[in-house]
A and B are shown apart, each in its own frame.
Chain A
Amino acid sequence: MHPIGAIALAALLASTGIAQDVLYYKFDDPGATPINLAARSGIAPGEATINSRNATPPWVPGRFGTAFSGGAASTTWQYVDTGYNVAFQGSFTVAFFCRNRVPLPSTSGAVIFRGPGSNGRFIADVSGSTQDLLIRGFGGSMRSDGTFLSKTMSGWVHVALVADWTNRVVRLYIDGVSGIPLPLTTMPFVDPRDGPLRIGKTSSSTTGSFDIDEFRLTLRAASAAEVQRWATTDTAADGPFGAACHPRGRVVLLDSNEATHGPPAIGNARYALELFGLAGTDYTLMLGTNRLRFAGLPLPLDLKIVDPGLAGCLWHTSGDIASFTGRLDAAGAARLALPVPNVPAIVGINVFSQAVLYSGALSRFMSSNAFVSAIGQ
């Protein structure tokens, strides 16, 4: 094989995403199910669901863009069900912005995230009594000081818990600044029987109502610089969601060149979308600003309107930015350059893309997965 081929293959095989990232919700897509921008790793589902018993919309202005709202009244609940059965051991990092809008009486508390089970229960909650944040259920625990609650009442606070098993230490960062580290004496472990991780107000029996933004879970110890960046920057990210529709043994994939050229950050002139499928297949790739409506029709839209054979295949983009048609080359690929201008004003914009394909060789339509490019820094 030609050396270039070897390099290309190695790069492609290595480009399966950052294997240790599990969850990343920016919550910047109000009105639709939250997209997990860390789904490339294949560990957690690409989309979460919202479980709500609340009259208020689950979206509020966030630290960056919009955020998930924990609701208001004490008799309601509103949470994001990640669909990810938390099960890991070793180093990990969990990070998020939070803000509280409902005063906590000293007799109550508020949950920020937790699993529904009772085995170890990986949980972060705030106490109305001690007014601190406690994250526990990973084989250890970490507590903030008693000023945490008052800070969250006056604005967004960034929290990052970094459990570093390599160096046997756990750190809690508040707004990018680490408190006093504690020794880790046992390897962090989260019991898989805890069930799917839920983010937000999971019960009507707790009072507080925390809004959550930029939630991340990664199975490695984040560096101090990373945490600092997360606490101060609207970071660029992208990722697939939805499901592709294709016959057995074939593949249709819409992805970006993020692994080789980075995320859709402003100034990244080399950013591009890549569509893979059967060589010689014709395609239409559409880019849109939202995934709520397409030509007046609510999304997601069943593609049986295109062809009966696509019944059950879902369309996810408004397609109101641009539409590109073409044919996949002999390598079964097409590349759409999307250089991101170095204009800070476009930070926070989401671009949703998806392709419908027609193969003359197979005499059938197919559709790709959908893809979101969240422009950031």
Chain B
Amino acid sequence: MIRILTTLVVATLFAATLEPAGAQDVLYYKFDAGGGRKVVNYYGHSGIAPLEARLVSQNGYANSTLWATGNPGSALKGSETVGRDVTLVSDCYPQHAGSFTIAFAFKNRRVMTRPSRPELVTAGGGSNLNRFICFINSQANNNLGFEGWASVSSPATLQTTPDVLTPHYSRWVHVAAVFDNATRSVRYYVDGQLADTLSMGNYTARLQAGENPLRIGFGARDGSVDIDEFRLLYRAATASEVQAWAQPSHFAADGRYGTACYPRGRSVLLESNRAQAGLPTPGNGRYALKLYGPVGSTFQLALGTSRTRLFSLPLPLDLAFVHPALSGCVWEADADIALLPGAIGATGEVTVPLPIPNVAALAGFRLYSQALLTNTAINTMMTSNGFSVIVGR
């Protein structure tokens, strides 16, 4: 009986590590921090792409000008002036041969005054064969175009039919392109509705970028295009998925960010129990944070509403001021909600229940957490990664 129980426990633990749902989900940027220069990838748990992206601005943009009001929450801000723009650098080098989906919301806030081709998403470099581009073709009929999507160099450009700029000027519009090798077609959705279906001909889809990582917002030369709710999946999304994404409501999400700090041979990890209990949606009474670390460690788990300030101190903060041995370990969560003490038991983990009240008004609420651990057996201090929770539907 003990053997059977052991086997079951092991099988359960293995299953928990696999997280089969969303295994092909690559990037999901909600841009909801509204400050700082880092953006959490809420699909980072799949392990395909880095947990965080960087915001890079040209020509002296300050942190405060990198963010716009989003749909909902905040969003990546487009350029205010030609030649001044903000780029999200994903540090993800797509290497995928097969169906994929790219979806995002955008808003153009300035009439394009000359023929231009703002590149909203790029990956790779060099020739079209090695460079994926998603652009607005304002030189022609303001449609959305794609280059570098196929397994061969031709056809280099795929252009959708509808004008996505003129009817949607200064308002948010959600677009999704589903490159589906099973049907050899690209299904193009505007605001959740199928707007165009294009044939791939004899070609198959692939995303490959060796030289440059996927970037968003690069080359907004003329228009001022804010971007929000960006998703990349290595699969063909369904029509109902796209329809749901197009709704301007808060989606529940959680994910790791930052880096844990611990000695060789040990491990510290802060995450949620989403694999067992699901996402932080209102009414999810089973939602919890889980902290893993060396047995016997005591911890302080900070819960706060920001990752850009700790009370009055700007974040991220080098913890060298706590102790010189923590030099290089970075703190990235506020503690204005709670500071929870505890200890890690014999199983090397502790669960901190975080039941989400069934209150619709909580949608969009952001919670940032991080733990500071002390272990007398190894005579050291450690920090966990940061963890971001966004309550939503």
B13–A248 CB distance below 8 A: yes
Chain A residues near B265 (CB-CB < 8 A): 12, 251, 253, 255, 274, 276, 332-333
Map CB proximity to B onto A1-25 as digits: 1 under 8 Å, 0 otherwise: 1101110111011011000000000
In the complex, which of the residues A5, A193, A249, A361 contacts B325, with contact meaning CB atoms closer than 8 Å?
A: A5
B264–A329 CB distance below 8 A: no
Map CB proximity to A onto B244-286 as digits: 1 under 8 Å, 0 otherwise: 0000000000000000010111110101000000000000000
A8–B263 CB distance below 8 A: yes
Map CB proximity to B onto A163-199 as digits: 1 under 8 Å, 0 otherwise: 0000000000000000000000000000111000000
Q: A331 CA to B380 CA in the complex, in Å?
A: 10
A365–B292 CB distance below 8 A: no
- Taking the complex as formed, is B381 at the interface, i.e. its CB lies under 8 A from any CB of chain A? yes
A8–B380 CB distance below 8 A: yes
A364–B296 CB distance below 8 A: no
User: Closest A-chain residue to B271, C-beta based?
Assistant: A249
**Which of B17, B261, B295 has most A Cβ within 10 Å?**
B295
Chain A residues near B211 (CB-CB < 8 A): 191-193
Within 8 A of A (CB), among B1-25: 2, 5-7, 9-11, 13-14, 16-17
- Taking the complex as formed, is A105 at the interface, i.e. its CB lies under 8 A from any CB of chain B? no
Q: A278 CA to B266 CA in the complex, in Å?
A: 9
- Taking the complex as formed, is B348 at the interface, i.e. its CB lies under 8 A from any CB of chain A? yes
Indicate whether A9 sits within 8 Å of B267 (C-beta atoms), given known contacts A1-B325, A362-B9, A364-B10. no
In the complex, which of the residues B11, B261, B294, B381 contacts A332, with contact meaning CB atoms closer than 8 Å?
A: B294
Indicate whether A279 sits within 8 Å of B295 (C-beta atoms), given known contacts A5-B325, A6-B324. yes
- Taking the complex as formed, is B130 at the interface, i.e. its CB lies under 8 A from any CB of chain A? yes
Within 8 A of B (CB), among A313-343: 329-333
Indicate whether A12 sits within 8 Å of B263 (C-beta atoms), given known contacts A248-B292, A331-B377. yes
User: Closest A-chain residue to B208, C-beta based?
Assistant: A193
Indicate whether A309 sits within 8 Å of B379 (C-beta atoms), given known contacts A332-B265, A332-B266. no
Chain B residues near A2 (CB-CB < 8 A): 379
**Size of interface on A: residues with Cβ below 8 Å to B:** 42
Map CB proximity to A onto B320-332 as digits: 1 under 8 Å, 0 otherwise: 0001110010000
B378–A332 CB distance below 8 A: yes
Q: A309 CA to B261 CA in the complex, in Å?
A: 30
**Which of B11, B130, B210, B348 has most A Cβ within 10 Å?**
B348
B210–A192 CB distance below 8 A: yes
A361–B294 CB distance below 8 A: no
Q: A5 CA to B323 CA in the complex, in Å?
A: 11
- Taking the complex as formed, is A247 at the interface, i.e. its CB lies under 8 A from any CB of chain B? yes
Q: A253 CA to B263 CA in the complex, in Å?
A: 12
In the complex, which of the residues B6, B17, B375 contacts A248, with contact meaning CB atoms closer than 8 Å?
A: B17
Q: A307 CA to B2 CA in the complex, in Å?
A: 13
- Taking the complex as formed, is B346 at the interface, i.e. its CB lies under 8 A from any CB of chain A? yes
- Taking the complex as formed, is A280 at the interface, i.e. its CB lies under 8 A from any CB of chain B? yes
A8–B296 CB distance below 8 A: no
B210–A361 CB distance below 8 A: no
- Taking the complex as formed, is A363 at the interface, i.e. its CB lies under 8 A from any CB of chain B? yes
Chain A residues near B267 (CB-CB < 8 A): 249-251
A251–B7 CB distance below 8 A: no
- 13 additional contacts (CB under 8 A) given A1-B325, A1-B374, A1-B379: A5-B380, A249-B269, A249-B348, A250-B348, A278-B295, A278-B348, A279-B294, A280-B346, A309-B10, A332-B295, A363-B5, A363-B6, A365-B10
27 CB < 8 A contacts A-B: A5-B379, A6-B324, A9-B379, A9-B380, A192-B211, A193-B126, A248-B292, A249-B349, A250-B267, A255-B265, A276-B265, A279-B296, A308-B7, A308-B10, A308-B11, A309-B13, A309-B14, A310-B10, A330-B377, A331-B375, A331-B377, A332-B294, A332-B295, A359-B347, A361-B295, A362-B13, A362-B347
Which residues of A are in contact with B by a Cβ distance under 8 Å?
A: 1-2, 4-6, 8-10, 12-13, 15-16, 191-193, 247-251, 253, 255, 274, 276, 278-280, 307-310, 329-333, 359, 361-365
